[in-house]
Amino acid sequence: MKRLLCVMLLVLQMDFASAEGLQVIAGEPQFVFEGSKQSVPVTFRNNGDKEITAEIRILLVQESSATTMAIGESRPWKTLRVLAGQTVLETVSVDLPAIRATTSFQLRCLDVKSNELGKISLRVVPRDLLKQLSKLGGDKAIGVLDPADELKPLLKAAGVEFYDLETGSGFDGFEGKLAIVGPFVENKSLPENLRTRLVARAKRTPSAIILILPPSVQMDPFPPIYLVRESSSTIAVLQPKAVSSITNSPQAQFHLIRAAQMALDPDSLRLPRFEPHE
């Protein structure tokens, strides 16, 4: 029995020592839908010159403007073996709580001594995020020109009322204040004189328009989202990759909502608050 205890202590001591060279490589915040068993990629790096075998624990933490709050306690995840100088990509399954709006979380990776190896920033998005378009559109249906039929099914599923700009009198019959034009699969799916029609609409009626260009349109430099003022209206132009795979991508849906907010209220854009710190 004593021999067994000594062996166990030796193994734990090896884990404690070897985990010192292990680090989580943090990148840009990852967008994830709320709900159970959500997959989060995590990259580990062994900065040491020896192989590392360590027991990894994970802890979910919710961020607020002033503080952070752990969601439950840390839990065992897996035994990780990383060769000297090696970088490995793993996937953690996380249960994320129900939320009403996009919320910031951290996924912290710990060793068995609860030393933090690093953290991944998460932006957790509600499943019904696109419902916000109804509120942004006010008391009128939003306009949608969606020849690829990619966005309309999502709006129907979210209960968002919309006016199909491909039917009837198109923009001439649209009375709402928010319109989404696109996505487009390719150039030939663009309606004729679309640019002229968008500018005419913007000059005729104050409104906000989101324009998602087809991938074949080349503009350099081209930020993911930029705003164009036309008379008293604002057009938010989105790079195609900003809303790529919008059906299953929480980040793409977030970009669409953010573009709508910016187009509707461009004057709300301000420098972020930031202070020097040690």
* 88-108 pLDDT, tens digit each: 999 999 999 999 999 999 999
The last residue of one of the domains, among 73, 94, 125, is: 125
Examine the domain organization and report whether 136 and 253 are in the same domain. yes
Examine the domain organization and report whether 192 and 110 are in the same domain. no
- What is the pLDDT, as a whole number, of residue 132? 95
pLDDT-derived band at 52 (thresholds 50, 70, 90) equals: very high
Contact, 238 vs 224, CB < 8 A? Answer: yes
Examine the domain organization and report whether 135 and 196 are in the same domain. yes
- What is the pLDDT, as a whole number, of residue 8? 39
- What is the pLDDT, as a whole number, of residue 18? 45
Among 197, 201, 209, which Cα is nearest to 256's? 209
* 207-253 pLDDT, tens digit each: 999 999 887 766 566 788 999 999 899 999 998 889 999 999 999 99
Among 22, 62, 64, 60, which Cα is nearest to 43's? 22
6-30 residues labelled b (16+ CB within 10 A) or e (exposed): eeeeeeeeebeebbebbbbeeeeeb
What's the whole-number mean pLDDT along residues 165-186? 89
Examine the domain organization and report whether 111 and 155 are in the same domain. no
pLDDT-derived band at 275 (thresholds 50, 70, 90) equals: low
Examine the domain organization and report whether 65 and 175 are in the same domain. no
1 belongs to a structural domain:
no
CA–centroid distance for 246 within its chain: 11
Among 86, 90, 117, which Cα is nearest to 20's? 117
- Inform me whether the pLDDT recorded for 151 exceeds 60: yes
Examine the domain organization and report whether 52 and 167 are in the same domain. no
- Inform me whether the pLDDT recorded for 34 exceeds 80: yes
Examine the domain organization and report whether 116 and 195 are in the same domain. no
Q: Tell me the average pLDDT of the chain.
A: 88
208 Cβ neighbours under 8 A, 6+ residues apart: 177, 178, 179, 233, 234, 235, 236, 260, 263, 264
pLDDT-derived band at 31 (thresholds 50, 70, 90) equals: very high
- Inform me whether the pLDDT recorded for 37 exceeds 90: yes
What's the whole-number mean pLDDT along residues 96-121? 95
274 belongs to a structural domain:
no
CA distances, 157 to each of 2, 136, 160 (Å): 63, 17, 8
Examine the domain organization and report whether 101 and 27 are in the same domain. yes
51 belongs to a structural domain:
yes
How many domains does one find in the chain?
A: 2
pTM across the whole model: 0.84
Strands of the chain, DSSP E: 22-25, 30-33, 35-46, 52-63, 68-70, 75-82, 87-96, 103-110, 116-125, 142-145, 162-164, 178-181, 208-212, 225-230, 233-238
278 belongs to a structural domain:
no
Angstrom distance (rounded) from CA 107 to CA 18:
22
The last residue of one of the domains, among 81, 99, 125, is: 125
- What is the pLDDT, as a whole number, of residue 6? 40
pLDDT-derived band at 155 (thresholds 50, 70, 90) equals: very high
Examine the domain organization and report whether 106 and 135 are in the same domain. no
**181 is in which domain, residue-wise?**
129-268
276 belongs to a structural domain:
no
pLDDT-derived band at 276 (thresholds 50, 70, 90) equals: low
- What is the pLDDT, as a whole number, of residue 213? 85
CATH number for the domain that contains residue 143: 3.40.50
Examine the domain organization and report whether 118 and 12 are in the same domain. yes
Examine the domain organization and report whether 78 and 23 are in the same domain. yes
Examine the domain organization and report whether 251 and 137 are in the same domain. yes
CATH number for the domain that contains residue 104: 2.60.40.1710
164 belongs to a structural domain:
yes
Contact, 236 vs 263, CB < 8 A? Answer: yes
The last residue of one of the domains, among 91, 125, 159, is: 125
157 belongs to a structural domain:
yes
- What is the pLDDT, as a whole number, of residue 4? 38
